[in-house]
């Protein structure tokens, strides 16, 4: 029996979000908005950039589960029940 590898899906929206949040991680470390500290603009900026790390955890988990589901040929509910 010959098994063919199923083509992987490409999630372009996740790729774009990864680029944006990768820049946000850099911004966390260099703090380019230092002059605006204490203002509402700075607080809004911080609330956005501090979403970067949780986004990477969530996106990585989604992509890992997606790959496992594709390899096993089941759906997400079957994957969860198998755990």
The DSSP secondary structure of 25-38, one letter per residue, reads HHHHHH-TTGGGTT
Q: Is the pTM of this model over 0.85?
A: no
73 part of a folded domain: yes
62 part of a folded domain: yes
Alpha-carbon distance 3 to 49, whole Å? 44
Residue span of the structural domain in which 58 resides: 35-83
58 part of a folded domain: yes
Residue 17: predicted pLDDT: 94
Residue 26: predicted pLDDT: 93
78 part of a folded domain: yes
Residues of the chain with pLDDT under 70: 1-8, 73-83
């Amino acid at each position: 029996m010959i098994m063919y590898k199923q083509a992987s899906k490409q999630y372009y929206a996740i790729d774009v979000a990864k680029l944006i949040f990768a820049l946000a991680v850099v911004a966390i470390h260099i703090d380019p908005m230092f002059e605006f500290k204490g203002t509402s603009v700075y607080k809004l900026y911080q609330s956005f950039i501090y979403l970067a790390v949780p986004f990477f955890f969530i996106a990585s988990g989604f992509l890992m589960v997606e790959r496992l589901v594709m390899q096993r040929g089941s759906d997400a509910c079957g994957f969860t029940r198998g755990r």
